[in-house]
Structure 1
Amino acid sequence: MELKEVLELLEQLVPLSLAESWDNVGLLVEPSRSHPVRAILLTNDLTDAVMKEAETISCDLIISYHPPLFRPIKRLVQKDWKQRLAIQAVEAGIAIFSPHTSWDNVKGGVNDWLVGGLGSGQVSVLSQALDVASHSHKLEFMVRSAEELNAVIEELNACDGGTALQHSISRPDSSGIHVSVICSDLSLTPSVQTLLRHTSPSQSLSILKLEKPPLLGHGQGRVCVLDQPITVVEAIQKMKSHLSLSHIRLALGLGQTLESSVCTVAACAGSGASVLNGAKANLYITGEMSHHEVLDAVAKGTSVILTDHSNSERGFLGVIRERLAVRLPDSVTVMVSKADRDPLEVV
């Protein structure tokens, strides 16, 4: 299976447009030598140990949840460990792809999987994703005749990359024909410039900014009202089992005990304090929070479970492996890295 085909499948599975604007997702390393993808290695982080594993199994594509290349770079040198890994990948003919926050935000993604470890319930998104591909402005104007209307619409379509704009026409009256056109951010300026070249539209033009529609079920973080309330100690046991961990960290909320009831839980994989802040829940679950962020939550009566950053994410790799396996041909093997692990451990 060609790399391009695998990337198309990944996009169908989880669109990269769901990633946060600050993130660096997608194909990060593309070897010059084109060859079929026969082995895919899934990892939470691309480290030296994971790269050695990838080379040992003759991997063609590494899907690294965290992007190994994040900040802009001006050179590729051996002294920087992330750049060194990128160079190794190119030399070995291994492509590197990172989905990061697109996997967090998608419905059925990392955060749904994480909060699902406590049981079933009514799940909602903490910070709703918006449809960035939708049209964002409405242009309202008037034309004097059907001939002028046809000419203006033809020019506006050219401004929008040749795609037909959404437009509506109200019944003509003594002042002319009323027209509404929906356009994107990119086509707004050329569309306005076009209308200003026509007398009637330029004199009657008004511009309205439209709200982007929400993508229901997609976005940052999750809050779940559990079908069956559990105690704090039961939540601890469930999360240890769900994440395959022998230890997690707990901060009890003010006035709470291990036997206190947990009816509502808010979760965000990785470093989730900014997403969880303000969420009304009995329990927060995330990978890491600062000392003062934990104190803030505790003071409000909310207990906090911290798993360490990548431990809140890594288990989802097995879910993705299954989803890819049923969509890829038998000629492609998908493996979860055995060398990938959280750098921190309890000693």
Structure 2
Amino acid sequence: MDLKGVLEILELLAPLSLAESWDNVGLLVEPSKSGPIKTILLTNDLTPAVMDEAEVIKCDLIISYHPPLFRPFKRLVQKDWKQQLAVRAVEGGIAVFSPHTSWDSVRGGLNDWLVGGVGSGQVLVLSQALSSAPQRHRLDFTAKNQDELNNILMLLRETENSETFQYSILRNEEGGQRVILTCPSSALTPVVQTVLGNATASQSLSITQVQQPPLLGCGQGRHSVLHEPVSLAMAVQRMKMHLGLRHLRLALGDQKTLDSVVKSVAVCAGSGASVLQGVNADLYITGEMSHHEVLDAVARGTSVILCDHSNSERGFLTVFKERLAAHLPDSVTIAISKRDRDPLEVV
């Protein structure tokens, strides 16, 4: 299978449009020679050790959850380790792809996997993702009679993208014609200019931005009301097993103990404080939060589990490997990096 075909499958599994606006997702390194993709390496972070591994197994594509190229480069030199990785990928003919927050957001993705570690429950998205369809505006104006309305509509049909306009017409008691029209934001200026060219319509014109529809089940963070509440001690043990960790950091909520009952859980992979802030739950689970953010949660009676940033994410690679393999021919080998690990460990 060629690179284009693999990218189409990756888009199907987690559309890049779901990624946060600040993120740098997608194909980050594209080889000049478009050979077949025979070996794919999955990793949470692309480090020099992981690149060594990719070269040994003659990898054609690295899927790195975190984007190894994030901030713009003005040059490619050997002084910076990330620039070194980019050069090695180019020289080795290895493509590099990063999904990052698109995996977090997609329904059934990383955050759904993370919250499922405590147990099954009724799950809701904390920060709802909206449709990435082109933004639209609604214009509401009135024409004094049918002839005036026909003239306005004729001029509107002459504007660019007029085939994408949608409108309805309501007649008022005085015989005037009220028009409710929606158009793409890209066409807003010529449409407004056309309406303003009519004295009656210009006096009644109002413009509002149309809210994008939500993408159900997609977005950042998850909140789960557990079907079967558990003790805090049990929640900790389940997360250790789910993440494959011997140790977690735990902050007990005010007046809480290990025997306290956990009925609701809020999670956000990685650094989740901004998503979890103010969420009402018995337990927060994320990779990292600042000292003061933990104190704020504890003061509200919410216990906090921290597992370090990439430890909250890495286990999802196994899940994604199975999903990706189901869409690829047997000729493509998918490996999970053995040298990828969180840079922090308990000693």
Equivalent of residue 151 in structure 2, options 148, 152, 155: 148
Distance 1:258 1:172, change over 3 A: closer
> Using the alignment, how far apart are the partners of 1:256 and 1:4 within structure 2?
52
Shift of 1:170: 3.4
Q: Which moved more, 1:70-79 or 1:174-183?
A: 174-183
> Using the alignment, how far apart are the partners of 1:193 and 1:32 within structure 2?
47
The number of residues matched between the two structures is 344
Distance 1:151 1:37, change over 3 A: farther
Shift of 1:269: 0.5
Shift of 1:168: 2.5
The SS at the match of 1:75 is coil
> Using the alignment, how far apart are the partners of 2:213 and 2:19 within structure 1?
16
* 1:178-214, Cα deviation, whole Å (9 max, x unpaired): 3322123333234323444566654543212222222
> Using the alignment, how far apart are the partners of 2:81 and 2:49 within structure 1?
12
Q: Which residue in 1 is equivalent to 2:206?
A: 206
Q: Which residue in 1 is equivalent to 2:290?
A: 290
> Using the alignment, how far apart are the partners of 1:167 and 1:90 within structure 2?
51
Letter paired with 2:235: A
> Using the alignment, how far apart are the partners of 1:285 and 1:236 within structure 2?
10
> Using the alignment, how far apart are the partners of 1:329 and 1:196 within structure 2?
58
TM-score, normalized by length of structure 2? 0.92
Shift of 1:141: 3.3
TM-score, normalized by length of structure 1? 0.92
Unaligned runs of 5+ in 1: none
**For residues 159-170 of structure 1, what are the structure 2 equivalents within 5 Å?**
160=161, 164-170=164-170
What is the RMSD computed on CA atoms of the aligned residues? 2.0
Q: Which moved more, 1:246-255 or 1:186-195?
A: 186-195
Shift of 1:151: 2.7
Q: Which residue in 1 is equivalent to 2:106?
A: 106
Q: Which moved more, 1:20-29 or 1:201-210?
A: 201-210
Shift of 1:300: 1.3
Whether contact under 8 Å (2:142, 2:178) holds in the other structure is yes
The SS at the match of 1:118 is coil
Q: Which residue in 1 is equivalent to 2:230?
A: 230
Percent sequence identity over aligned pairs:
66
Unaligned runs of 5+ in 2: none
Shift of 1:29: 1.2
Whether contact under 8 Å (2:164, 2:184) holds in the other structure is no
Distance 1:253 1:30, change over 3 A: same
Distance 1:251 1:32, change over 3 A: same
> Using the alignment, how far apart are the partners of 1:341 and 1:85 within structure 2?
17
> Using the alignment, how far apart are the partners of 2:311 and 2:268 within structure 1?
12
Whether contact under 8 Å (1:141, 1:206) holds in the other structure is yes
Q: Which residue in 1 is equivalent to 2:139?
A: 139
Whether contact under 8 Å (1:155, 1:194) holds in the other structure is no
Letter paired with 1:32: S
> Using the alignment, how far apart are the partners of 1:273 and 1:57 within structure 2?
38
Whether contact under 8 Å (2:164, 2:183) holds in the other structure is no
Shift of 1:254: 1.2
Q: Which residue in 2 is equivalent to 1:22?
A: 22
Letter paired with 1:274: S
